[in-house]
Chains A and B, each alone.
Chain A
Amino acid sequence: MHPFSYTKAADTREALNAGRSGGRYIAGGTTLVDLMRETVERPGTLVDISALPLRQITVTERGGLRIGALVRMGEAAAHPKVRTTYSVISQALELSASAQLRNMATIGGNIMQRTRCTYFRDVTAACNKREPGSGCAALEGFNRSHAILGTSDQCVATHPSDVAVAFAALEATVHLLGPDGKERSVAFADFLLQPGSTPNREQAIRTGELITAVEVPALPRPLRSGYLKVRDRQSYEFALTSAAVALHIRGGVIREAKVAAGGVGTVPWKLPKVEQHLIGERPSASLWTAAAEQASDGAHPLQHNGFKVELLKRTVERQLRIVGGDA
């Protein structure tokens, strides 16, 4: 770990001031401190924002949910409103990490977390994300856990978050507060960036900007939703593949469908073709299969992750059935 200075911001203004002069925000610290220990991250100044008043979950005027950036993963998962209206969020959170980590890690930090690519986390390996221009050791290396979608010749690392997959599916919005005190909002789909030729740029966030909340839009009721995480181990592992599914079924017909996949993309992977295939149809086993058939469209498998192409389809198919029913 490189030496760093640490300040705790008493309020938002103090935080923004420190952020403007190059300080890195830290909340739960469950990703950043790990990476600092590996010297992957070498911040000069840490600004502890955990005292900021960003720990509320509120219902928006339109009936959506606004989850404060400092709400702990565990708190968000257990919140009655989250649990009853967006079970996909609760499930994604509860299938993440461990209870200890969920009690520390925040929602804002969760969507900012960095990839689990082992070459990224090993400072002696080539990694364009960590050191632009140094190359990508994963491309020709051991890449079983890596992405098949949204990759580039510079980077094939997956985004590790589960709840971000739910946010992507539900078309959430990220609320940001700039150092100048101005607020802005970014659609979740635009917030996390595919690597392209700049894999070191992971979020559409500007220097000193603070995430204040993630807002999930209102969706028509009744809404059935859920998250399926496929992994080698029963618990405490990042996803090989995952699927977040939310369906609004009325009169026996699917009126709304929100579907995204995790573990397969460089960012949480929204599946609009799958959604379109579902809308206006009646739930059936054959519908799930046919819709899921398009989940891996555009996939570029690598040497060790080719199985994800088929596994992704089956994951989506299974989760459509779990959420939409066997009928």
Chain B
Amino acid sequence: MSPQPQAAVGAPLSRVDGRLKVTGQADYAADRPQARTTSLGGTPIIQGVVHAVVVDSSIAVGRITAIDTTAAEAQPGVLRVITHLNAPTLPYRDNAGSNNPPGRRLRVFQDDRVLFHGQPVAVAVATTLEAAQHAASLVQVTYDAQDSSTDISAPDNPTNTPQTYTRGDAQTALASAAVRLEMTYRPARNHHNPMEPHATTARWDGDQLTVWDKTQWVIGGTQTELAAVFGIPVASVRVIAPFVGGGFGSGLRTWPHVTVAALAARETGRPVKLVLTRRQQYFGAGYRPAYEYAVRLGSDGNGRVTAMTHDIRSETSTYENFAERGILPLGQTLYNTPNVSQTYRTVPLDVNTPVAMRGPGFATAAYAIESAMDELAHELGIDPIELRLRNEPEADPSNGQAFSTRRLRDCYTTGAREFGWSARNPTPRSTRDGDWLIGTGMATGMYHTLRAAAQASVRLDADGTALVQSATIDMGPGTYTSMTQVAADGLGLPMRRVTFRLGDSVMPNAPLHGGSLTMASVGSAVQNGADQLRQQAIQLAVGDEQSPLYGADANSVVVQSGRMYVSGDPSRGETYERLLARNSRDSLEVLGSYSPAQSRFTIDAYAAVFAEVAVDARLGLVRVRRMLGVYDAGRIISPKLADSQALGGMVGGIGQALLEHTVTDHRDGRIVNANLADYLVPVNADVPDLRAIYLDGEDREADPIGVKGLGEVVLVGVAPAIANAVFHATGRRVRDLPITADALL
């Protein structure tokens, strides 16, 4: 098979759905029932939609002793107020999939127990949103409140069974180390805060349930979970999500409100739309848990790290044990440390369950480990990059496997050159600009390259256009665009003749849209489908006596602009349209697929992140002046989209480092800053000069299209780079995130 010319992949193309988004035509879950049909799909207007508003508990733990819905139900337009007193029993079949952590998931309106502040305790359904909101505010709930525990730092918290990892003998190595450091880092709880609120529109047609939902996983996630909750066949549930306005992980589970919407629709016999308020996002979906991450580090005098221990705690709920899969690997793989010991405990608290958030686990581990490395560099007077180079492994120190591609050295070198690292005076508090202390810092990022089985259907129509479909999601990275690029090159069609559709559970199966696995997995399935289809057309042509390609070697035929031709003889060929018309074929169709192969390599994406900050010497304000990320992420399919990812990751990391902090009032579990005025995310003025560089290359061990995933690794390492720059600027080491003026006065 001749290699296809790559016209679209690698080109800095704009989003194919950009116009729809900026003209307001992209319909998100809450835009129903005003949905219209667009070139990317869409659904007919849903008739008769009514509105549901959730009532949240105002205590953390206890029992509901009474609910008075009289006033609410008396309001004009109110159809029903559903509580545990009148809700039907829902089967809640076991479902270990759908990202449900071990435990017993929250069952809406099934009993009188309250497990966290903000738990749904009732829902008001009315013909207008205003009536539903008003009715919800009139529901009177009386509680028998019990003492709650929501503070991970409280002494004597019980913990779940720890996860551990050991290599060598860290204790002994620490005892004999020339230099020993011991630090505890405390990154705050963060909320995803996607711009689009979580929203569900649910409709029952007999026994068939359709939901338009904000989700990152239509089939394995929402469809499967709703089937389990309602005890109906998976085939009876359809989930539609053509546009998702940001997720960052918050759409990786089917949260209680999705069930509430479907339940309300069933109880009222009407399609129901339910949109969480911004406040409700803070307890109605998940969050990045708060951590306490204690590091002990032993080194020889030359900066060779001989031992590292990690004693890690993160918050989870009392009803589910959410343990972050990504918290341990970085501490095992990033540095060639012979003696490592890790203990990871989750602390059950009276809170709702956390969920993965961009760079899950890795971002937290990198904050602690990369801060600790910076502390060691300072202690030893070794340049932070040099220290990392001295501990760079040749093979994966956790299992001895070779790395498929690991180009951290290149990341450091390129980053240092482009950032101007050599001009740095290593002495903290040595650079001033008026009232501002200037500091620079760097950190390493890493994220494992995840892949999962995926399918994509590819259909070539007689008019020479193609339709590619897969039940994946585009929460913002540009899946529509990148998949169209891969398909266009595979089919030999221009971008405008290829349409990619996603976000519907009737489409071929795709894995969750998270963990940076969509491009690798769905992209490989799309490429496989496009290759198959192209080959099918070529086979048809070379076997067709009336084709100019008759008798040609199929392996020598390539396709460009919809025309098949012999690669050494461009005049010999014909278009797809002619071939299909002559053969009276309406279309050709294949199912592309991808299954990850077992690899004998360790496959990860890497980053070197550099930051320059200014800290007001008297007022303690920290402002990022510029950042640079250098990424070893394999092949870059779509450079403009990659920049969106990388810059967005830096923005998220700036928030994590300097602004974002979900604050809980531990007296009653109330989140006190559950809004975007008090939970601060960076604004434009906070993100002045951000730059991303991608090392040229690809990783064919990772997947057929050579990508290693980008969406997560771009956040990992940002917060420690900033924290290290703050130390360099001020000489003050702050070990809590976010770093605010309070700590620097």
Instruction: Write the B123-136 contact mask toward A (1 if CB under 8 angstroms, else 0).
Output: 00000001001100
Name the interface size band of chain A: 35 or more
Q: How far is the CB of B628 from chain A (nearest CB, A)?
A: 20
Q: Give the docked Cα–Cα distance between A231 and B623 (Å).
A: 11
Q: Give the docked Cα–Cα distance between A125 and B668 (Å).
A: 10
Among B621, B678, B742, contact of A118 (Cβ-Cβ < 8 Å): B678
The answer on a CB contact under 8 Å between A2 and B134 is yes
Instruction: Write the A170-187 contact mask toward B (1 if CB under 8 angstroms, else 0).
Output: 000000000000000000
Q: Does B558 contact A (CB under 8 A)?
A: no
The answer on a CB contact under 8 Å between B663 and A142 is yes
Interface positions, chain A 198-244, Cβ under 8 Å from B, are 230-238, 240
The answer on a CB contact under 8 Å between B618 and A314 is yes
Residue of A nearest to B435 (CB): A318
Q: Does A1 contact B (CB under 8 A)?
A: yes
Instruction: Write the B668-688 contact mask toward A (1 if CB under 8 angstroms, else 0).
Output: 001011110110101111100
Whether A140 contacts B667 in the complex (CB less than 8 A), given A118-B678, A233-B659, comes out as yes
Whether A311 contacts B620 in the complex (CB less than 8 A), given A232-B680, A238-B677, comes out as yes
Interface positions, chain A 92-120, Cβ under 8 Å from B, are 116, 118-119
Please classify the interface of chain A as helix (H, G, I), strand (E, B), loop, or mixed, using the class held by over half of its residues. Answer: loop
Q: Does B414 contact A (CB under 8 A)?
A: no
Residue of B nearest to A307 (CB): B742
Among A125, A231, A236, A310, contact of B745 (Cβ-Cβ < 8 Å): A310
The answer on a CB contact under 8 Å between B130 and A144 is no
The answer on a CB contact under 8 Å between A1 and B133 is yes
User: Residues of A contacting B682 with CB < 8 Å?
Assistant: 233
Q: Does B665 contact A (CB under 8 A)?
A: yes
Q: How far is the CB of B630 from chain A (nearest CB, A)?
A: 26
Q: Give the docked Cα–Cα distance between A123 and B138 (Å).
A: 12
Whether A119 contacts B672 in the complex (CB less than 8 A), given A124-B58, A311-B619, comes out as yes
The answer on a CB contact under 8 Å between B58 and A141 is no
The answer on a CB contact under 8 Å between B742 and A144 is yes
The answer on a CB contact under 8 Å between B137 and A39 is yes
Q: Give the docked Cα–Cα distance between A114 and B552 (Å).
A: 80
User: Residues of A contacting B663 with CB < 8 Å?
Assistant: 142
Q: Give the docked Cα–Cα distance between A125 and B619 (Å).
A: 32
User: Residues of B contacting A315 with CB < 8 Å?
Assistant: 619
Residue of B nearest to A138 (CB): B672
Whether A3 contacts B659 in the complex (CB less than 8 A), given A118-B672, A144-B742, comes out as no
Residue of A nearest to B118 (CB): A124
User: Residues of B contacting A235 with CB < 8 Å?
Assistant: 683-686
Among B667, B670, B672, find the residue whose CB has the most chain A CB atoms closer than 10 A: B672
Residue of B nearest to A304 (CB): B742
Among A1, A232, A318, find the residue whose CB has the most chain B CB atoms closer than 10 A: A232
User: Residues of A contacting B738 with CB < 8 Å?
Assistant: 232
User: Residues of A contacting B670 with CB < 8 Å?
Assistant: 122, 124-125
User: Residues of B contacting A318 with CB < 8 Å?
Assistant: 435, 618-619
Residue of B nearest to A235 (CB): B685
Q: Does A71 contact B (CB under 8 A)?
A: no
Interface positions, chain B 655-671, Cβ under 8 Å from A, are 658-659, 663, 665, 667, 670
User: Residues of A contacting B678 with CB < 8 Å?
Assistant: 116, 118, 145
Q: How far is the CB of A116 from chain B (nearest CB, A)?
A: 7
Whether A234 contacts B623 in the complex (CB less than 8 A), given A39-B137, A137-B665, comes out as yes
The answer on a CB contact under 8 Å between A230 and B741 is yes
Residue of A nearest to B76 (CB): A3
The answer on a CB contact under 8 Å between A237 and B680 is yes
Q: Give the docked Cα–Cα distance between A315 and B673 (Å).
A: 25
User: Residues of A contacting B618 with CB < 8 Å?
Assistant: 314, 317-318
The answer on a CB contact under 8 Å between B133 and A233 is no
Q: Give the docked Cα–Cα distance between A137 and B668 (Å).
A: 11
Interface positions, chain B 714-745, Cβ under 8 Å from A, are 738, 740-742, 745
Interface positions, chain A 311-327, Cβ under 8 Å from B, are 311, 314-315, 317-318
Q: How far is the CB of B635 from chain A (nearest CB, A)?
A: 36
Q: Give the docked Cα–Cα distance between A310 and B620 (Å).
A: 11
The answer on a CB contact under 8 Å between A232 and B683 is no
Among A39, A118, A307, A318, find the residue whose CB has the most chain B CB atoms closer than 10 A: A118
Q: Give the docked Cα–Cα distance between A81 and B541 (Å).
A: 79
Q: How far is the CB of A228 from chain B (nearest CB, A)?
A: 9
Interface positions, chain B 29-84, Cβ under 8 Å from A, are 58
Among B623, B665, B675, contact of A142 (Cβ-Cβ < 8 Å): B665
Residue of B nearest to A234 (CB): B685
Q: Give the docked Cα–Cα distance between A75 and B435 (Å).
A: 32
A-B complex: 7 closest residue pairs judged by Cβ atoms = A234-B685, A124-B58, A307-B742, A235-B685, A118-B672, A142-B672, A314-B618
28 contacts between A and B (CB under 8 A): A2-B134, A116-B677, A116-B678, A118-B674, A118-B675, A119-B672, A122-B672, A140-B667, A142-B663, A142-B673, A144-B742, A230-B741, A232-B621, A232-B658, A232-B659, A232-B680, A232-B738, A232-B741, A233-B659, A234-B683, A237-B677, A307-B742, A310-B745, A311-B619, A311-B620, A311-B745, A314-B619, A318-B618
Additional A-B contact list (8), CB under 8 Å, known A116-B678, A232-B741, A235-B684: A1-B134, A122-B670, A142-B672, A230-B619, A234-B623, A307-B745, A311-B741, A314-B619
